[in-house]
Amino acid sequence: MFDKYIICEDGFQNVSEGGQVVGFQLMARLPYYRGLGISMVEDLGVKIDSDAVAREAIRITLHGKTYTLDEMEVEYDDRWEFGEPGVVTVLQPGGLKPGAHTVEVSPQLRVSYLPFILKDRDVKTLTLAA
Amino acid sequence: MTQSHQIKRGVSLYSFQEEFFLRKMTLEDCIAACARLGAKGIETIGEQMMPGFPHLSDAFYDQWHGWMARYGTTPTCHDMFLDTKKFKGRLMTDDEMLASVIRDLKHASRLGCTVIRVIVNTPPHIMELAAPYAEQYNVRLGLEIHAPFHFRHEWIQKHYEVMERTGSKFLGFVPDMGVYERRFPRVRSERTIRNGANRDIVQFICDSYERGVDLDAVVEEVKRMGGGPLELGMVDDVKRIFFDDPRRLLQFMPRIFHIHAKFYEMVDDTTEYSIPYNEVIPVLIEGGYSGYLSSEYEGNRHIQDVYEVDSLEQVRRQQAMFKSLLGEV
């Protein structure tokens, strides 16, 4: 459900802080038909050109608030809204080289009425501007 | 000549999830679209189209009632969820579950809804605890009966026992018409083929379901035909659907608060591919059902990989079918 829409087409870019490239960003949405309390987002895996990004290197920003994946698991009030593009930041000094990259995002959601963890995956080729 | 009845037409905005997700329609656009179809009953999912839920402002509720007045629509049902697994490693306590239901009762009341669709994982004893609050807020709690659950299922029977024992008029059901699937939805079988399943085996599985063949025997035949995980997975999907006898609704009629008119594919203005509404609606009329038939389009997820989804056209067709079956035309 909505798996092809997980990764947004726009928003793929390197991010700088104090003149240094500290990582890169992309935009992603949850593949589910309602918004979900953030504590129920168990994971959001990211792969770049087939290499898995370490969970600790991932930050997610939702309506201006930034979380690590561990912090998300204990956030009991805020929600990732339906169709809301979240900014996924990967801390990786130097960022990515300009050009095409294969991006994979795989959320895992703990939906209470399902007897299993909802796992979905989207893979897209995105181009990072020079 | 259709027998006289009090059945009303509405739409669950769940139907427009594709367009809302992609920001092609706003909440107001969805309401306006229903009004144009003459489907004046509006069902909503707070967690879907009302960002910030459950902390919605007075201004939001004012705007909501402004829309209802402007478009001549009526709030019908709020679809609630119970996040029993909100905390990793433990389930919600009874107090937490009850507080969650009361939160939804307050929201439904402020919207002006008269019914809540209760998600099926809500335990019977929580419904019993919530009944006095439902009465206080004057909102009825209708447990959704959605495949693979059905009226005869043990879990649903436990709920029914609570309803009968307490005698509460605020506890009942919201049946989902997905329990009347005479055929496996074509949008699902076609998607399975696009995912790589063998067309002949998929057809064999669909035919077997329609003929009522024992599905364990189908598994063996699918293996013999060379079917792998995709084809065997489809047999599992088929095991989770069924065609219940629509006349069973008559027995529960006083407790049917609202109807989820689930559909996957309106092939034209008269026919849903898998659900024979022409066999279900006459039973609702016969039983004196007086609530809403609330369109719930769920085809988008099965076709969005290759087709542009047009939920509005699908809902228009289903509403045209309802008008005909309800004798409005």
- The answer to whether position A129 is within a domain reads no
- The answer to whether position A130 is within a domain reads no
State the total domains in chain A: 1
B120, two tokens = 């099926």
Q: Show the domain range for A102.
A: 3-124
Q: What is the CATH number of the domain that holds A97?
A: 2.60.40
Q: Rounded distance, CA B133 to CA B141, Å?
A: 10
Report the residue from A2, A35, A73 with minimal CB separation from B88: A73
Q: Rounded distance, CA B256 to CA B174, Å?
A: 6
**What are the CB-based long-range contacts (under 8 Å, 24+) for B56-61?**
B56/B107, B56/B110, B61/B110, B61/B111
Return the number of CB contacts < 8 Å for A and B.
67
- Select the residue from B12, B14, B21 to test the A interface by mutation, using most A Cβ atoms within 10 A: B21
With CA atoms as reference, the chain B residue closest to A113 would be: B121
* pLDDT value at residue A1: 80
Q: Mean pLDDT of residues grouped by 10 in chain B (329 residues)?
A: 89 98 98 98 98 97 98 98 97 98 98 98 98 98 94 96 97 97 98 97 97 94 97 95 95 97 97 98 97 98 96 98 94
* pLDDT value at residue B3: 83
Neighbours of A74 (CB within 10 A): 11
Nearest to B175 by CA among B112, B247, B126, B223: B247
* pLDDT value at residue B329: 76
* pLDDT value at residue B2: 74
Local structure of B309: helix, strand or coil? coil
* pLDDT value at residue A130: 75
* pLDDT value at residue B1: 57
Which CATH number is associated with domain B8-182+243-325?
Answer: 3.20.20.150
How do residues A71-128 score in pLDDT, each as one tens digit?
999 999 999 999 999 999 999 999 999 999 999 999 999 999 999 999 999 999 999 9
Chain B interface residues (partner A, CB cutoff 8 A): 14, 17, 20-23, 45, 47-49, 51-53, 81-88, 119-121, 301, 304-305
Cβ-Cβ contacts under 8 Å, A70 against chain B: none
Nearest to B260 by CA among B169, B147, B170, B155: B147
- The answer to whether position A11 is within a domain reads yes
What is the percentage of chain A residues whose pLDDT exceeds 70? 100
* pLDDT value at residue A129: 83
Neighbours of B195 (CB within 10 A): 11
Contact state of A79 with B301 under an 8 Å Cβ cutoff: no
Local structure of A19: helix, strand or coil? coil
pTM: 0.96
Question: Are the CB atoms for B182 and B274 separated by under 8 Å?
Answer: yes
* pLDDT value at residue B255: 97
Report the residue from A2, A39, A82 with minimal CB separation from B86: A39
- The answer to whether position A90 is within a domain reads yes
Bridge-partner residues for A101, per DSSP?
A126
- The answer to whether position A52 is within a domain reads yes
Cβ-Cβ contacts under 8 Å, B305 against chain A: 4
ipTM: 0.96
Residue showing tokens 């240094």: A20
Residue boundaries of the structural domains of chain B: 8-182+243-325, 186-236
B194, two tokens = 């696009």
